[in-house]
Amino acid sequence: MGWAAVTGAVAPAALALYLGGIAWTLGYDTIYAHQDKEDDALIGVKSTALRLGDGTRPWLWGFYAAALAGIAGAAWLAGLGWPSFAVLALAGGHLAWQVMTVDLDAPAACLAVFKSNRLFGALVMGALALG
């Protein structure tokens, strides 16, 4: 949004990065929502954790694949070099680790994996800075 405000146009790379960010948010917020899904059910909150239920993990794969595709697409459209993509591969490995290891029925595990997204964000920032 800031890019469009400054330049008066939406660059394809900026749009891809924005869409990747939305997908990443859907993934980590769904993990976060699993911490208190029982409370949400009691008070009527409609969370992604309740909506997706036992089928959450495939959705997480999809959210995170879309996130990585959007971010990598932005890097490609911006003409970034191979070092950026090497770091993005590490970031993708981190997202895969999250989906494979998170115990969606253990609030403490959900919080720990949610907090691990700081590493993903740092890797993405590093990848973009390398470009």
Q: Where along the chain do its domains lie?
A: 13-130
By mean pLDDT, which of 45-54, 58-67, 83-92 is the weakest?
45-54
The domain made up of 13-130 has a fold known as Four Helix Bundle (Hemerythrin (Met), subunit A) (1.20.120)
pLDDT digits (tens, 9 = 90+) for 91-113: 999 999 999 999 999 999 999 99
Is the pLDDT assigned to residue 5 strictly greater than 70? yes
Q: Tell me how far CA of residue 108 lies from CA of 16, 64, 129, in angstroms.
A: 33, 21, 33
* Residues 6+ away with beta carbon under 8 Å from 122: none
Question: Would you state the pLDDT for residue 10?
Answer: 87
> What share of the chain has pLDDT > 90, as a percent?
82
